[in-house]
Structure 1
């Protein structure tokens, strides 16, 4: 068992939602290589259903898959504008939680994306640039063994 098990991820997700004053926050964790790096939303606060638990993504698919593949955060003050470049059904967390605006940031461990945190609102324009910055600042100290910036070594 890894040391991160001692962390109460559910409590951390709820704390971020309260501090950001948004409708929904969730944490997706990347599964091991033998599970083909599947990405699953495992913890959530403010969710309207349990559908998020059934979402399984691969690299490059959905919000979590894109953040995993690129290692870069996503800021979408208008979810439908961001998602329409493909199809809204390729973004199941946005549909399941009826998000109108959201931001997602990667969590790194050993210089690889190991988790993704999404924060979203069910009203248009609620996810502001200030909230996006707040999310990025909250993620690093909140999730213990993870960090929010990719380390660059020489």
Structure 2
């Protein structure tokens, strides 16, 4: 399981030129969303983050069920403290994509950049999202 996700992260990082990748999943035991997997993290603060549905990057993406593409901090809709993963990882630009099992958002993939960038086209990350959706169905919720 872990080898597969790490390999997928490495490939996605190369394809997207991302600085940081992470996956948040709903933890039904506590009723919160947690950042479970990260690649190229500056620290391990993400492991302690618990996000409410509708809050933060992951909560918002899960609530609306659509990707959030943000090329600049100027586009953030809330104050910076509402986005702890972005602050702790010094993210300036990002793509946050819902991960689904059977058309129900169960997680979020965050592709982050530590500077403002022109975000990659969807065709760059879509194959990886499909693989992650499958991975969640098989490994995480299996």
TM-score > 0.5, shorter chain as reference:
yes
Question: For 2:118 and 2:107, how far apart are their aligned partners in 1?
Answer: 21
CA RMSD, 1 decimal: 2.1
1:67-115 Cα shifts (integer Å, max 9, x gaps) = 111101000011x1222x3211000011010011000100111221111
1:38-74 Cα shifts (integer Å, max 9, x gaps) = 1111111111111111111011110000011110100
Residue 18 of structure 1 pairs with residue 14 of structure 2: yes
Deviation at 1:133, TM superposition (A): 3.8
Residue 119 of structure 1 pairs with residue 114 of structure 2: no
Question: For 2:136 and 2:55, how far apart are their aligned partners in 1?
Answer: 22
TM-score by length of 1: 0.79
Residue 128 of structure 1 pairs with residue 124 of structure 2: no
User: Which of the residues 65, 69, 82 maps onto 2:75?
Assistant: 82
User: Which of the residues 27, 32, 39 maps onto 2:23?
Assistant: 27
- Contact 2:62–2:108 under 8 Å retained in 1: yes
User: Which of the residues 46, 49, 60 maps onto 1:52?
Assistant: 46
- Contact 1:105–1:136 under 8 Å retained in 2: no
Which residue of the partner structure matches residue 150 of structure 1? none
- 1:68 aligned counterpart, secondary structure: helix
- For these two proteins, the number of residue pairs brought into alignment is 137
Where do residues 34-113 of structure 1 align in structure 2 (5 Å cutoff)? 34-36=29-31, 38-78=32-72, 80-83=73-76, 85-113=77-105
- Contact 1:75–1:102 under 8 Å retained in 2: yes
Question: For 1:120 and 1:44, how far apart are their aligned partners in 2?
Answer: 11
TM-score by length of 2: 0.85
**Structure 2, unpaired ranges of 5+:** 138-142
**Structure 1, unpaired ranges of 5+:** 148-154
